[in-house]
Structure 1
Amino acid sequence: MMTFEDSLHVVAAVLCKSTGEVLLARRPAGSEDAGYWEFPGGKRESGESAHAALQRELREELGVQIERFAPLMRIPQQQAGRHLVLDVWLADGEGLQPQPLLGQQLAWQHPAQIDPYSLPAADRPALAALEQPGLYAITPDFPDGDSAVASVLACIAQFQRSGIQRLQVRLPQLSLDRRAMVLSLVQQQFHGEVLCNARDAADMGLAERAGVGLHLSQSLLQSLSKRPTGFECVVGSVHDVDALRHAERLSLDAAVLGPIKPTRTHPEVTAIGWHGFVRLREQSALPMYALGGLCVDDLAIARQHGAQGIAAIRGFVKSDPA
């Protein structure tokens, strides 16, 4: 069993203003990862609580005293042969006047304006948690026919009431023409980001014509040598470390990994559990959604295992997740 001493435990604070801006600190020359921007924080000592470590680091780095923190996410990573755990917390930065006490450069920036690759790898999932939706809904399967359109739109209405802001239209049993019609109707009625499930070039063409994002199947993802152009958002399904690393090489916006728990929709697939999710989370800085048997109530535990959020087919609509 891994002990505290076996890992490098780091805490970081996302200090937020009412404008949505967050505080970044740039590591000075001569320090590890010099030149990278990061969320303020540092190493947690053995026997020290996360809150105590945050308060100490913020006093030493910025000269500020903060009493209240809310958990954002915990990010496990394997870096240079060591196991790192980054514990990220939210705090109110309104009215603060931080000082660069360690010679670092400070800047307030809006998350959407921050280049993820200007941050150390472990910080990137935290940035994604600030700017990408935590809940990612997937349309259930509906049999082809006129009733499918009404069923999809009824499902969309439930997603809207649940506050879903990212939606994957996945209707493989429908003809290409009918899927095009459904995509058009969904765009009119869903007030959020729409992605089209893509298993082949025809599906990618459909998404491009509709002007929506892409969700790549693992097989299609692994067949590509570069990120598809012309799409604001590209997400991919991954089931193993090779696919995950390929998704990262293609600079996808996020990956979806699972199933975490057994599901009714894919009963033949063995669940990987949270332990399996963490094993893959450690291998990549790519934002990752956990999928399989989850519902809205699982978002907090998902983020404590390094997930950007959760994806679900029925978990956002019915009381019994799948």
Structure 2
Amino acid sequence: MIHVAAAVIDDGAGNIFLAKRPDDKHQGGLWEFPGGKVEPGESSEVALARELDEEIGIKVNQVESLIQIPYHYSDKSVFLDVFRVTGFSGEAWGREGQEVRWVPLNELDSYPFPAANKPILNAVLLPDKLLITKAYSSVSGCISGTESAINAFSLTWFMLRQKQLSEEGYAHWVRTMRAASQLNNRRLILSCSVELANSLKGEALHLTSQRLMAMSNREEFSGRFLGASCHSLEELNKAQLMQCDYVTLSPISPTKSHPSTPVLGWKAASNIIAQAALPVFLLGGMNQSDLMQAKSIGAQGIAGINAWCS
């Protein structure tokens, strides 16, 4: 397996640095996050600094781990050790003659990437804190509660999970929340059937583990982001087979809602994440204070209800 260190470089203004692979190389003509092979005896961080100096002429000052991706092409296997570069000096350019450019976050989806880079793209676009709505008795209460949590904790994505509603009722809540101006600039993730999500033209859908296991083709969902609830390695593997863009893994710790449910714990979660080629949110008993520990074991971040909803 080829060990590669790759970088997501942000210019501080919301633009991400991309480089185009030469036509004569593997996956040539596609865009990628810059980096290169980790040499024997070299740490990923040292390799990344060396490669970015050689390829695009910058000196790395500060990095943080973003995601690790084991990926298997038909002709080779790669292990991508991906870092977010949070500080650098110099001006990035194509030192090896490659085409490069700074791309706004909201335009990244229009660029063709190698398949192994798709999880990196998702990790860049996804937040590190995912709000799941608690059960509300009215849509107005849900809007108010969601807005309060979003403002208090600087949240950008939220999942509308309201198991008590019929499909007709859920659709009404979705349309009402979409019309709420205070939520317009936040990403709404639907939690319903694939059929209902498609009829609502949802751009993001989160599947229950039951719906995930029943799914036979990723193309059943017409939106951009597909997520799923996972509680085991078997379900994670199914999510990867369905080309999900992320998963939640739960329960990590005991929860108020399911106090008798056996928990995975941090060690088991770490072992499962190590086999994941997609972003993973930890769920179940999570609090804001758990975010850094979640990231330290390779998770995208945390998801929760009680962590942010009062």
Question: Same fold per TM (> 0.5)?
Answer: yes
- How do residues 83-102 of structure 1 correspond to structure 2 at under 5 angstroms? 84=79, 86-91=81-86, 96-101=91-96
Number of aligned positions between the proteins: 302
Aligned counterparts of 2:113 and 2:201: Cα–Cα separation in 1: 32
**Structure 1 residues 40, 265: CA separation in 2 closer, same or farther (over 3 Å shift)?**
same
8 A contact 1:13–1:40 mirrored in 2: yes
CA offset digits 1:16-42 (Å, max 9, x no partner) = 235533223345577666666432233
Q: Normalising by structure 1, what TM-score?
A: 0.76
- Bigger mean CA offset, 172-181 vs 103-112: 103-112
8 A contact 1:289–1:307 mirrored in 2: yes
CA offset digits 1:121-163 (Å, max 9, x no partner) = 2x44332222222221111134xxxx44454233212222122
8 A contact 1:75–1:85 mirrored in 2: yes
* Unmatched segments (≥5 aa) in structure 2: none
Aligned counterparts of 1:131 and 1:159: Cα–Cα separation in 2: 21
1:155 aligns with 2:145: yes
Which residue of 2 is the match for residue 225 of structure 1? 216
8 A contact 2:198–2:222 mirrored in 1: no
**Structure 1 residues 29, 231: CA separation in 2 closer, same or farther (over 3 Å shift)?**
closer
Q: Given residue 84 of structure 2, which amino acid in structure 1 is its aligned partner?
A: W
Aligned counterparts of 2:61 and 2:274: Cα–Cα separation in 1: 28
Which residue of 1 is the match for residue 283 of structure 2? 291
Which residue of 1 is the match for residue 190 of structure 2? 196
1:302 aligns with 2:297: no
Which residue of 2 is the match for residue 172 of structure 1? 163
* Unmatched segments (≥5 aa) in structure 1: 1-6
- How do residues 69-218 of structure 1 correspond to structure 2 at under 5 angstroms? 69-75=62-68, 77=70, 84=79, 86-91=81-86, 96-101=91-96, 104-111=98-105, 112-114=107-109, 118-119=113-114, 121=116, 123-142=117-136, 147-161=137-151, 162-187=153-178, 188=180, 189-191=182-184, 192-198=186-192, 200=193, 204-205=195-196, 208-209=199-200, 211=202, 213-218=204-209
Q: Secondary structure at the match of 1:294?
A: coil
**Structure 1 residues 97, 151: CA separation in 2 closer, same or farther (over 3 Å shift)?**
closer
**Structure 1 residues 155, 129: CA separation in 2 closer, same or farther (over 3 Å shift)?**
same
Aligned counterparts of 2:94 and 2:224: Cα–Cα separation in 1: 37
8 A contact 2:286–2:304 mirrored in 1: yes
Q: Normalising by structure 2, what TM-score?
A: 0.78
Aligned counterparts of 1:20 and 1:160: Cα–Cα separation in 2: 20
Aligned counterparts of 2:197 and 2:40: Cα–Cα separation in 1: 54
**Structure 1 residues 210, 44: CA separation in 2 closer, same or farther (over 3 Å shift)?**
closer
8 A contact 1:116–1:127 mirrored in 2: no
Q: How far 1:294 sits from its partner (Å)?
A: 1.6
Q: Secondary structure at the match of 2:176?
A: helix
